[in-house]
Every structure is written in structure tokens, then in C-alpha cells.
A and B are shown apart, each in its own frame.
Chain A
């Protein structure tokens, strides 16, 4: 069994988030139109951290929501029921630029489900996608706008993350062979 590799440690995660936040700011001049929506588990913490960095760049608060996508998944018939997390979008998404935030981009199916789920809340002006890790192997024509790190992987590898909402020092992203 090969040793698991640490892809990102706490410092590298924070650095990646800071860079993503600046890229979001650069891409979206109308800062008051931008809202962040994290996909649990993982994306919700990252969204909260990105919002904190962005509010520092823009000097105003950036709204953050949580969007559970389990009810919109396309694999519900072929697996045990996934854990349903509460959705909390405390703002109107109509006309906004919604930045979806997820931890790992893999098949793209979670992102597809997220875009469908978001539709039920209104019609955003734009949807952008920010991920901490892009590990490749897409099943759908989906591409991230903001990427923390590209990690070429094989299908038998597993990426696990330890993330906290505070900028904790124990955070890390690990790559394991299964």
C-alpha cells in the first residue's frame, strides 16, 4: 500500500483560496452582484472562507449560501440514499452572479445537479464554478472557472479533504490509492 500523498497543506489551501478570491474579483467588476453558494460537504466551508477574503478585497460583505444537491442527483437509483444536508440560501439569486463552490471537481455530475437545484431558487444572471481541486475524468461538458490546483489522478485514487471553516492549521488535502 503506497503512502498517501499530501497534495495541499493548510498554508497551501489558504494561498489557493486567496488566489481564487482575487481571480473572482478580477473577473467580476460588479462586486455587489456576486454571491457565493457552497455545496456540502466541503464546499460550504470553502465558500465561507472565500467570502471572508473577498469581503476584504471589496470592502463589503459577500452573501454566502449553502446548496444541497442530493435531491437532484442522477444516480439515486443506483446507490444507497445519500445524506441530505439543509439548504440555506438567504438571498435572492435572480440577476446575481452565483459562484458555486465545491471542494473537488471530478465527473461534473455534482455541478450539473447543483445548477439544476439552483434553478429552483430563481434565475441567476451568471453561474461560475470555483473548486479547490480539479482531478479530471469528466463525464459531462463542465469546466471550472476558478481552480485551486489541478491534480492529475487515476480512477483508483481517492482524494480526501479535511477542511474547517476557520483557517485551521490542520486542514489538508490527501491523495490515496485505493
Chain B
């Protein structure tokens, strides 16, 4: 058991032991969701602010419910309704929220490094809920949790991440988490979206989908991030589906016990056949359930992290 961090800003700076601490802790919190009384008093009296400067439904709802189940009070703060629209800086907005005695700030922002910036400016605990194309740490933690729960281990597994890697913070966080835990990660997608430079992160990069999924124990599908693509990175959606979409024909070629994951939102008929998304191979909805447990664990752990990470032993 080792966790002394005050914030959760990224996966890159975590050790394998810290990641496993979150996963072990989340196991206890997952059970809370199955009880008649789905609430524990661990964060009673604390205030959690969801500062979502970029739209999100599932992550925000998941954090909100996680905080509620830990008995904290939650306020949701979205760009549409905020002074950020009126020209206030992020730092000023956050300091105003802190002036209301909030204890946790959960931030999603389109700028990479925004959570790191806030963690230096504020006394509150800062949790990264996705920053630009940089990281989405709780998604990686819930992916790792789901894989470990389903497969009993992570080390030695072949994990293929298929889709838009270049613009994906999920991919980056997943790569850090899974390689630290000993998985063999393969990235696949159109060459414009999966540059060879990712090999530096310790992954295999291929542009041939059949090769990528043949030995995979886990196939993690990523959505095409239209909102982040500044120019057209491939000729058409139809062609993408043809070349990289997961369909029945491709399913027949993968390992019989391979699992299909997706961080959502799914674009049915694009990266995955509608039927496959609902099949027993898919653990997509279990990822959502596990996300709640993992976020409860993260809130619980950072609450105990009083020592700043730089000085922690």
C-alpha cells in the first residue's frame, strides 16, 4: 500500500505500485455499489467541484456520483454557465472556487497541462479528468481495473489499442499504465493517426489491423476525435470503417477469449459493428461501472495525500 500524492495529474509520473494501490482500493469501493446503502462517510463534509471546461457527460457524471457515494457535496461547473465565457482566466476561476472552501477540483480542459498548472496555484486536491490530447488518468485506471478483473492479471497480456491514437489522451494514459504494469501494447490505425513516434513509449506500431488483433487479449477501440482534428487525417469515415472497423469477419480471426473495450462514446457502425458492441465479448458497460469505483478510490486516496509529491518519501 503506497499512496502519498495530493493530486492525480497523470499516469506518466506514477509507479506501478501506485497504480496497483488504486486498483486494489477500487476493488473495495466497487462492492459499495452493490449494497442496499450505496454510500460511505469517507469524505463527509468535503466539497468537490467538477470544473469541466470541455464538454463531458460520462466522466462528469461518474465523478459526481463517486463524490456523492463518498458523502461529499458536489457542485458542477461547466463552461457554458461560467465566467470563463466572460474572459476570466482559468486560474481566477479556480481560485474563486477555492475561495468557496472547495477541497477537490476535478478538471477537464482542452489545454494539456491545465491540471498541473492548477495544482501549483491551489491548495485543493486536483484531479485530472482529461487535459487536451495529453492524459485521462482515471480512464486508464478503470481500463486497467477492468482488464485485471476479467483476466486476473495484466503483465504479459497483449493489448491492442485501435483507432485515433494521435489525438487521444485515453491512448496516452492507457499506454503509460499498461506498459508500467507489464502488458505488451500494440497501436493500430491509419498512419496519419498512429505515427511511428509512439514506439518511443514502448509500444508496437502497425497499420495492419489483422496483424494488430490476431494475438490480442484485449482490443481497446477508440473513437475518431473529430473535434480535435484540424485537418482531414483520412479520406472518409466509410474507408476508415472498411479498413479499421471491428466487424464480424474480423471477430472470427481474433482469440476466442479476447475482450473488446471502448472508453465511449461509441460511434456505432464506425469503429465497431453495432452487434459486436452489444455482444458478450464487449465489456464496455462494465468499464462504466468500474469507472465509478476507480474514481471513488482516487478521491479517497488523494484525500489522504497530505504531502506534496515532490517531498514524499
Contact = CB atoms under 8 A, between A and B. Distances in A.
Interface residues of A, number: 22
Nearest to A87: B31
B1 A83 contact: yes
A83 B24 contact: yes
Nearest to B27: A86
A80 B3 CA distance: 7
A145 B60 CA distance: 47
A79 interface: yes
Interface in B36-61: 36-37, 39-43
A102 interface: no
Contacts of A87: 28, 31
B41 A72 contact: yes
Interface stretch (B199-207, B217-225, B296-304): B296-304
Which range holds the interface residue count of chain B? 20 to 34
Contacts of B43: 76
A87 to B, nearest CB: 6
Contact of A81 (B27, B32, B303): B303
B166 to A, nearest CB: 36
Interface string B1-22: 1011000000000000000000
B33 interface: no
B41 A80 contact: no
**Main secondary structure on chain A at its contact with chain B?**
loop
Contacts, number: 63
A126 interface: no
Contact of A84 (B25, B35, B39, B305): B25
Contacts of B42: 70-73, 76
A171 interface: no
B35 A121 contact: yes
Interface string A73-94: 1001101111111111000000
B29 interface: yes
Nearest to A122: B36
A117 B297 CA distance: 17
A71 B299 CA distance: 12
Q: Give the one of B35, B41, B297 with max A CB within 10 A.
A: B41
Nearest to A81: B304
Contacts of B35: 120-121
Nearest to A116: B41
Interface of B: 1, 3-4, 24-25, 27-29, 31-32, 35-37, 39-43, 70, 297, 300-301, 303-306
29 contacts: A68-B28, A70-B28, A71-B32, A71-B40, A71-B70, A71-B300, A72-B42, A73-B42, A76-B42, A80-B4, A80-B305, A80-B306, A81-B3, A81-B301, A81-B303, A81-B305, A82-B1, A82-B304, A83-B1, A84-B27, A84-B29, A84-B297, A84-B300, A85-B28, A87-B28, A87-B31, A88-B31, A120-B40, A121-B37
The 9 nearest A-B residue pairs measured at CB:
A81-B304, A84-B28, A71-B40, A120-B37, A83-B1, A71-B42, A80-B304, A81-B301, A84-B25
